[in-house]
Structures are given as structure tokens and as C-alpha cells.
Structure 1
Amino acid sequence: MNIVGYLAPIAFGLASIGSAIGVGIIVGKTIESVARQPELQGRLTGLMFLGIAFTEALAFIAIATGFIPFTAPA
């Protein structure tokens, strides 16, 4: 029985959901920070995009783990 074939779609879905939640939190906190200190908008925007990039990279790593072949120990 190929367990990985059945679990891969679940891993893809969880990676997508986790990434969406993370990006939403990052953008929301950035908007809140800009509302409090508008003079830091440029710096906060750059940090926001960096955080989004790291969050998406973790999602791609999670999706890639679904493609790692599973072999049972002999």
C-alpha cells in the first residue's frame, strides 16, 4: 500500500493553509504598524516582503516533502 500517495494531497493542503495564515498575519501586522508609525512605511514594507518570502519558502519545502519517496526499512 502506497501511504505517501494518499498523504501527499493532505500535505499540500496543510502547506497551503499554513502559508496563507502566515502571510495574512504578516500583512495584518504590517498594516497595523504603518497605522501607528506612518514614517516607517518603506522600511516595514521591505521587512513584510522578506517575511512573506520566508513564509512561502517554508510552504514550498512542505510541499516538496510530499514528493520524497517513502521506503520501509527492510
Structure 2
Amino acid sequence: MVGLGLAAIGPGVGIGLIFAALVNGIARQPEAEGRLRTTAILGFVLCEQLFVIGVALAFVLQP
């Protein structure tokens, strides 16, 4: 379970970087907000999916 806690750091940092880039992109080009938001949400889902798979594996592979 300690490994799972450490593995949560990666998606957390990734999600933070995704939304930081989204805010920066919207600030630079407000007219592209729709396209940027769609891409950011797709990136968020893919990042979060890695953590969900890790949680599932942690429960399945318990000693």
C-alpha cells in the first residue's frame, strides 16, 4: 500500500501540469478555449486511468 501511495504522485503531478497548461493556453488564446479544454480533459482521463488501474492491481495482487 505504500507503493500505491507513492504511485499516486505521478498522476497527481501530471494532472497539475495538464491544467496549468490549459490555464496558460486559455490566457494566451481565449478563442481556442473549446479545443484546449477538450484536449485537457482527454489528458486528464488518461492520467487518472493509470491511477485507477494501479488501485485495482493493488487490491488484486495482495499477498
Question: What band does the TM-score fall into relative to the shorter chain?
Answer: 0.7 to 0.9
Structure 1 distance, partners of 2:37, 2:4, is 28
Structure number, greater radius of gyration: 1
- How many residue pairs match? The answer is 63
Task: Return structure 1 stretches of 4+ with deviation > 6 angstroms.
Answer: none
Q: Which runs of 5 or more residues in structure 2 are unaligned? A: none
Written as runs of structure 1 = structure 2, the 5 A alignment for 1:1-74 is: 9-69=1-61
TM-score, normalising length from structure 1? 0.72
State how far apart, in whole Å, the 2-side matches of 1:69 and 1:58 are. 16
For residues 8 and 22 of structure 2, what CA distance do their matches in structure 1 show?
21
- Structure 1 residue ranges without an equivalent (≥5): 1-8
In the superposition, relative to structure 1, how do residues 11 and 64 fare at CA in structure 2: closer, same or farther (>3 Å)? farther
